[in-house]
Structure 1
């Protein structure tokens, strides 16, 4: 054993999601010997359950699609929307992300990554100066069978067929236009054809995770499952290895270049409820996201930030306690959202992070999506086609239904008087075509998720035609947003702001470079992959120069 270690590598990566695999691939490309350890018995992390979008401004795919952008313009956009969270959101760290993101994309494309530019997707903060369409990368369809034996240990998402991010707004519009009908037909027909051809076709986060693993496998990167990190080993203030627990017990593994922590946040940690208003029961993060890595911060003397923050959103809870993210349903016309007192509290067409933040700000953990009968007649709801709402969903209580608004209020347990006043004012504004309270339908992002054939406002439709429906929306998240603070090279900082030698972090193990905002689609995975890339690159340069 060299130096008391059972094995020795140049870099050890903890976690097999997008941030970890990006760091591992980058380091391997630079000639390093890399090991990835994963505590779960499957690989892919929360990435595999996600939409898979990657926000990477001014990348080659975006520019090739004819969308003009630059690092400078993206920087001005971030200057306008990102709040000050100290070193976590320091201008130098934002700049490091913006400069490295296109290089990360270049490297991955050179290794065979299949992405397309999501040209129709607006930045979430589309009202801000220098916002753009098309900064998000959407993973191409991928046949999981290309992975060979690795397919058996891939984390799989719940989608019954492959849907790309670009498909979702059109599918949500259901029967509202010929284009949306054709897009629904294309997606479902393509899925049936792929299956008939013997393919295991995936898109979105599953495609991203699978493609990254294919690259890692081809490069010869070893990934060990069921191998949780138990301890970081340090020597003279430098992180030089790990203690992991595998099938054969504890093992000390050394690393010449250090350790990259990329094992997610603390969405399902027991200590989360002490820090945040949400306890994780409705989080979309994987069950293994229990904060093991983040909990080590105090013992390491590491700086953390934004431990009270998450990638907020909202969700529906389907029969069987199946949690599904709420997205387009509340943005389309003929719907409003009301709090337990029967009042509106937010622009219903806002992005999911802004919507979740509004719930946190209002101090509510649930609200109601109320729909006029035309909503279900015209639009898709979750996996239900327009006009098709199974009776079992009413029997279970998922959908509340009443011929009158008073009857619906009674079923939802909200004050009928306040609710009636809310609907009356909303309908008055609909007739004007302007939401004077929350400006719904005034941003490019809102319009993208609306019904463009609904005039004059694609997001507004009256609540006046019964039977009326309501579905409970719960506060949820995509994972936590706070953790280790790193610099522009993804090095973990100590409590006084000095890098801890040999320790790197990326993804939801870190405090977000975007602070308490969500600039655009892929704002979790874009920085996750980029800071993973920066970590792998920095380790390689440091070892080369040592």
Structure 2
């Protein structure tokens, strides 16, 4: 693979079989599948890093029916997966499009594992998010990338978008769910002590020669594996700090692009021919001010934890070519509750509260009236939607001293000492109250409401039943609770140990659900439902096959990989026809 740091290094009037706009997970996958077919590929990235939001994610990849599923759930079938999606999504998206994903998913994963450095594992228990619906499963469909040794990338290592600093420990050491469990239990188990010692020692050695740890996990591992695989193909070119200015079109459809170098003073441009077509994989509309105002009214861009490259610059070009956005989604974006904190360098850390705190015993979430408004153990997507639907913006995640010590809260880690908590208290990220009334006064919320909500939660914890929001009744909810807490319900526990703590929450859009309408080959369709020849969309540029319903972990990355495969295959066939 040839890596160009600026557009000036790209020859004038270059020609490729496939041009991919955006080097996030879906774009890199489309480029890799095309490379495996022998296509000449140009991968265009507007930032200095590859990976997009995928690099900041858990890297979970939801693809039912793979060879991995048999290891943990041999009874699962594609028919059951289709039944689950039909139950969860209904007619929000075409069933045929979901079926295309199911029909081709297993083969795409097998091809990646057989011919590239992409390697996955099934997690022993990783339930679908709406686990009370028919067709759902507890495991087998969600795959996780294996950890990757970043040192294998050599000089390419700095290209991988670094993880969110607040998701690392010890100055840049990445940890996944397995690592976290071992670190928390390192004084209780020899196996955990051994695991923790091994990764900490590795990190210490890394820091002697690298600015961060090279043991990559989760989304960073997935992106690094994609990059390492692409690096083995001489007919792939990656150009960074470059955006697309316009599409070249003729009667046959989209035939190429005009690229522009990044930077206010840049006047560098290159015309590039794309014989097979152009794949849009720019990450969605989330950082486009006008589209946010239209599609996500009231959601401040400061609450968005997505990567910086998702500006939708190419969306206007696609719409000019006839592309249309999908309709009927439950939501135009996928959501998670987030907390915000200013970093020392002046930037803002946007921390998604996925699974580590809000669903645990001794935690509850309230609005300004001090009242609960949501099942705290529901999926992060439904949590974020509930915040908006009930007008509970901002909201506050509240816990007692016992829960904070055991689980942490947001950016405050489990087992935090007074010294550890001092900076968070000083800058207001974390609020502490000697009593619930004191906490409410400091937060500016109704004290009587908070007191009543906590007393009610304590009664529910004693009975194990939450009659208001049915917290902890599904397998998914119980999985992100704490089965070791000794409570009747793994998601319910009392708040009775002072002092009390709270972190403010906002609904953060973690990715676009609304994108361009496509067919089963990821071809972009016009308003009449006809393919726009030579134009494809994958990842968050493609209208989600989930219709704005967050059905399971990894439902953006999984379809991104599979439709990246289908787009590359179709474009490859087209390129073979039009090649000179």
Change (3 A) 1:385 1:465: closer
Where do 1:8-23 residues align within 5 Å? Answer: 8-23=15-30
Deviation at 1:287, TM superposition (A): 1.4
Q: Which residue of structure 2 lines up, in the alignment, with residue 362 of structure 1?
A: 390
Kindly indicate whether the alpha-carbon contact (under 8 Å) linking 1:302 and 1:493 is maintained by their aligned counterparts in 2: yes
Deviation at 1:65, TM superposition (A): 4.3
The partner residue of 1:163 within 175, 193, 203 is 175
Q: Which residue of structure 1 lines up, in the alignment, with residue 466 of structure 2?
A: 435
Distance 1:528 1:224 in 2: 21
The partner residue of 1:214 within 228, 244, 253 is 228
Distance 1:153 1:453 in 2: 41
Residue deviations 1:158-181 (CA, integer Å, cap 9, x gap): 23222234555x479x469957x9
The answer to whether residue 120 in structure 2 is matched with residue 115 in structure 1 is yes
Kindly indicate whether the alpha-carbon contact (under 8 Å) linking 2:367 and 2:393 is maintained by their aligned counterparts in 1: no
Residue deviations 1:323-342 (CA, integer Å, cap 9, x gap): 11112211110110001221
Q: Which residue of structure 2 lines up, in the alignment, with residue 269 of structure 1?
A: 288
Secondary structure of 2:163's partner?
coil
Distance 1:167 1:192 in 2: 14
Change (3 A) 1:410 1:185: farther
> Scaled by the length of structure 2, what TM-score is found?
0.88
Change (3 A) 1:387 1:543: closer
Deviation at 1:125, TM superposition (A): 1.2
Distance 2:174 2:74 in 1: 26
Change (3 A) 1:428 1:171: farther
Q: Which residue of structure 2 lines up, in the alignment, with residue 134 of structure 1?
A: 140
Kindly indicate whether the alpha-carbon contact (under 8 Å) linking 1:433 and 1:460 is maintained by their aligned counterparts in 2: yes
Distance 1:107 1:419 in 2: 54
* Runs of 5+ unmatched residues, structure 1: none
| Residue range with higher mean Cα deviation, 64-73 or 99-108 | 64-73
The answer to whether residue 570 in structure 2 is matched with residue 538 in structure 1 is yes
The answer to whether residue 349 in structure 2 is matched with residue 322 in structure 1 is yes
Secondary structure of 1:406's partner?
helix
Secondary structure of 2:68's partner?
helix
The partner residue of 2:555 within 520, 523, 531 is 523
Distance 2:489 2:77 in 1: 32
Secondary structure of 2:201's partner?
helix
Distance 1:70 1:177 in 2: 41
Distance 2:251 2:107 in 1: 34
The answer to whether residue 271 in structure 2 is matched with residue 252 in structure 1 is yes
| Residue range with higher mean Cα deviation, 423-432 or 96-105 | 423-432
Kindly indicate whether the alpha-carbon contact (under 8 Å) linking 1:267 and 1:279 is maintained by their aligned counterparts in 2: no
The answer to whether residue 453 in structure 2 is matched with residue 422 in structure 1 is yes
Distance 1:187 1:77 in 2: 38
**What is the alpha-carbon root mean square deviation over aligned residues?**
2.3
Kindly indicate whether the alpha-carbon contact (under 8 Å) linking 1:118 and 1:134 is maintained by their aligned counterparts in 2: yes
Q: Which residue of structure 1 lines up, in the alignment, with residue 303 of structure 2?
A: 282
The partner residue of 1:152 within 132, 151, 158 is 158
Q: Which residue of structure 2 lines up, in the alignment, with residue 347 of structure 1?
A: 375
Q: Which residue of structure 2 lines up, in the alignment, with residue 473 of structure 1?
A: 505
Q: Which residue of structure 2 lines up, in the alignment, with residue 385 of structure 1?
A: 414
Distance 1:399 1:473 in 2: 11
Change (3 A) 1:339 1:526: same
> Scaled by the length of structure 1, what TM-score is found?
0.93
Deviation at 1:19, TM superposition (A): 0.7
* Runs of 5+ unmatched residues, structure 2: 1-11
Kindly indicate whether the alpha-carbon contact (under 8 Å) linking 1:22 and 1:529 is maintained by their aligned counterparts in 2: yes
Kindly indicate whether the alpha-carbon contact (under 8 Å) linking 1:51 and 1:165 is maintained by their aligned counterparts in 2: no
The partner residue of 1:398 within 397, 408, 429 is 429
Deviation at 1:468, TM superposition (A): 1.0
Kindly indicate whether the alpha-carbon contact (under 8 Å) linking 1:36 and 1:223 is maintained by their aligned counterparts in 2: yes
Q: How many corresponding residue pairs? A: 536
